[in-house]
Amino acid sequence: MSLADNFMSAARQILLATENIKRLDEKVSRLADDVSSIDRRLIRIETFVEVGQRPSRRRTLPGETT
């Protein structure tokens, strides 16, 4: 291989690596959005469970006896 062929091969590999990195970056961004969405949902579920586990207090009107 000549020097020009080596240079072109290296340049091609760099371009392919750059494209792969861009695609991976987009995928990571989408995954980060998904994780954020899942985190918000999990917080809502945890809150729902915590509220459901609290003992309920029966409210009475003033002067009422239980």
DSSP letters for 2-62: -HHHHHHHHHHHHHHHHHHHHHHHHHHHHHHHHHHHHHHHHHHHHHHHHHHHSPP-----T
pLDDT in tens, 23-62: 999 999 999 999 999 999 999 999 999 988 887 777 777 7
Is the pLDDT higher at 61 or at 16?
16
Q: How far apart are the first and last CA of the chain?
A: 96
The answer to the question of residue 16 being in a domain is yes
Reported confidence tier of residue 63, pLDDT bands at 50, 70, 90: confident
Residue 9 lies in domain:
1-51
The answer to the question of residue 42 being in a domain is yes
Is the pLDDT higher at 4 or at 62?
4
The answer to the question of residue 28 being in a domain is yes
User: How high is the pLDDT of residue 53?
Assistant: 85
pTM surpassing 0.85? no
The answer to the question of residue 8 being in a domain is yes
The answer to the question of residue 60 being in a domain is no
What one-letter code names the amino acid at 10?
A: A
- Is the CA virtual torsion 46, 52, 55, 58 positive or negative? positive
The answer to the question of residue 62 being in a domain is no
Instruction: Give me the number of domains the chain comprises.
Output: 1
